[in-house]
Amino acid sequence: MRILIVEDDANLNRQLAEVLKEAGYVVDQAYDGEEGHYLGDAEPYDAVILDIGLPAMDGITVLEKWRGDGKTMPVLILTARDRWSDKVAGIDAGADDYVAKPFHVEEVLARIRALIRRAAGHASSEIVCGPVRLDTKGSKATVDGVALKLTSHEFRLLSYLMHHMGQVVSRTELVEHMYDQDFDRDSNTIEVFIGRLRKKIGNDLIETVRGLGYRMQAPGNGN
Amino acid sequence: MRILIVEDDANLNRQLAEVLKEAGYVVDQAYDGEEGHYLGDAEPYDAVILDIGLPAMDGITVLEKWRGDGKTMPVLILTARDRWSDKVAGIDAGADDYVAKPFHVEEVLARIRALIRRAAGHASSEIVCGPVRLDTKGSKATVDGVALKLTSHEFRLLSYLMHHMGQVVSRTELVEHMYDQDFDRDSNTIEVFIGRLRKKIGNDLIETVRGLGYRMQAPGNGN
DNA sequence: AAAGACGAATGCGCATTCTGATTGTCGAGG
DNA sequence: CCTCGACAATCAGAATGCGCATTCGTCTTT
């Protein structure tokens, strides 16, 4: 984990760096707004500690520029001023957390840990099978990057198959998972929907295992 | 957006609720730990304001129980100024932010905005979707730079959709986040407001996913 | 009093789903 | 290699129910 400290008070900067390094982080240091802004843009940090009152460029401005450039790393703001309007400005500019001077260095450490932990939990849930991508969070699917237009049942079917990739899924199993009530087992709806799905995502992806059911798998891949 | 306030000081509770409602949030109020814990478990809030010192059940305990039950909504903790060890305890229990008493209500408002924004994965206070810009700070929206004249419910609807861009949002979800407690679920209000919104921002932006709900997305872009 | 916002009710149009019949395919046994 | 039976795929029409526009009455705001 790599952290950037932007703080003009050399003493405080050094002190923070020490504690963070001790905690196992890699630390870069900047002593004014311009230097800090440049580093934050150029290097991939896992978190930034940013003072508000800085020479060369104000902390809020630095933050706004980063956010404007699409930088999303967590930023912890430091300020000596006890003015609540500064806090509000910092938060609205896209700060993730805030500590008022004077503070305990241990508190900063705890907050950095929390920020990094929180940022890590941002993994998008996506299942990929060959050219097909299933975005379970957004209820979307794409083939070769092109959005698929699926109906609700088609999506449920695809979703179940992709969640059980490589396995043979019986028709009974599919019926039981796609319909909550008891449903006419003698119907061939599943086959109909398999057909429609194949038409939309390509025939090679859903293999039919005669007498057993269906299996989804990336093509050109024996087992 | 729907917010829960857990605070035993009736005066402060009311004050917070007022400001939040004015800002367009739906607010539920609890006055002790047990009531708060129950509500937070039962209803889907977008954020919670939680006091540490509470009758019936301590704030930290409430938070720990929620996290233990898999609740992940952002929680803003209120704490006495000098007890910084409480802050660290709160953070470790899974709090997302804290404010020390006494505070300015505007600061709480700004922090709540930030928490909700961040939970949706947006760094800055502005969310953009094609020609539509949502200014969460000023509770305003524009299309192609032109200010929209939205009613309070229309704005809440647009806001929720934009905070969940790319995701399919069900009618139930929308009702639960736009209205408090009991509301006639068999009504078609959401559809009506979707219609009114589309009339103002254009039809292409809100896609309807039959049988599932609605999805907001920049047009001409499958992803 | 007037205007606007909100939400309930109605009916229509159409995408989606289901059904049943038909056609197509696989594989074992003669 | 051919045939036959079982299973799978396809198709079209029918039925279903979802979403939308619209209207209207109530409530709030000014």
Match 């020490």 to its residue by tokens: A18
Match 């379970």 to its residue by tokens: A136
Contact A212, A172 (CB under 8 A): no
What's residue A123's pLDDT? 54
Alpha helices (H) in chain B, listed in sequence order: 10-22, 33-42, 59-68, 84-93, 105-119, 152-163, 171-178, 189-201
Percent of chain A scoring above 90 in pLDDT:
41
What's residue B81's pLDDT? 63
Residues with CB under 7 A from strand D: A 171, 188, 191-192, 194-195, 198, 208, 210-213; B 171, 188, 191-192, 194-195, 198, 208, 210-213
- Give the closest of B96, B104, B124 to A67, CB-based: B124
**Longest CA pairwise span in chain A (Å):** 78
What's residue A222's pLDDT? 43
Average pLDDT for A170-176: 88
Average pLDDT for A12-32: 90
Query: What CA–CA distance (Å, rounded) separates B59 from B81?
Result: 16
- pLDDT higher than 70, residue A124: no
Mean pLDDT highest for which of A88-92, A103-107, A126-130, B155-159? B155-159
- pLDDT higher than 70, residue A83: no
Residues in A 54-93 with any Cβ partner in B closer than 8 A = 64, 67-68, 71-72, 84, 87-88, 91-93
Query: Of A127-136, A187-196, B57-66, B83-92, which gets the smallest average pLDDT?
Result: B83-92
Chain A residue with CA closest to B109: the answer is A88
∠ CA A74-A80-A81 to the nearest 5 degrees? 105
| Contact (CB<8Å) A142/B84 | no
| Contact (CB<8Å) A152/B124 | no
Strands across the sheet containing B213-216: B168-169, B213-216, B206-209
Task: Give B111-134 pLDDT, tens digit per residue.
Answer: 999 999 888 888 788 899 989 999
Chain A residue with CA closest to B215: the answer is A138
Closest by CA position to B34, among listed B10, B11, B3, B66: B66
| Contact (CB<8Å) A142/B97 | no
Query: What CA–CA distance (Å, rounded) separates B122 from A68?
Result: 12
Each residue of B172-181: b (16+ CB within 10 Å) or e?
ebbebbbbee
* Confidence grade of residue A181 (pLDDT, cut at 50, 70, 90): low
Cis check: omega of the bond before B102, within 30 degrees of 0: yes
Q: What is the mean pLDDT of chain A?
A: 86
Task: Give B45-90 pLDDT, tens digit per residue.
Answer: 999 999 998 998 999 999 999 998 889 899 999 987 666 677 667 7
Query: What CA–CA distance (Å, rounded) separates A182 from A185?
Result: 8
Task: Enumerate the residues of chain A whose CB falls inside 8 A of the CB of residue B87.
Answer: 107
Min Cα–Cα distance to chain B from A30, Å: 22
| Contact (CB<8Å) B110/A97 | no
For chains A and B, count residue pairs whose Cβ atoms are closer than 8 Å.
72
Query: What CA–CA distance (Å, rounded) separates A152 from A163?
Result: 16
Contact B216, B162 (CB under 8 A): yes
Query: What CA–CA distance (Å, rounded) separates A209 from A206?
Result: 10
- pLDDT higher than 70, residue B221: no
Task: Give B162-215 pLDDT, tens digit per residue.
Answer: 999 988 999 989 998 998 767 777 789 999 999 999 999 988 899 999 989 999
| Contact (CB<8Å) B91/A71 | no
What's residue A51's pLDDT? 93
Q: What is the pTM of this model?
A: 0.83
Each residue of A41-50: b (16+ CB within 10 Å) or e?
eeeebbbbbb
Query: What CA–CA distance (Å, rounded) separates B91 from A48?
Result: 18
- pLDDT higher than 90, residue B222: no
- The torsion angle over the Cα atoms of residues A160, A161, A166 and A172, rounded to 10 degrees, is 80
Residues with CB under 7 A from strand C: A 149, 151-154, 179, 184, 187-189, 192-193, 210; B 149, 151-154, 179, 184, 186-189, 192-193, 210-211
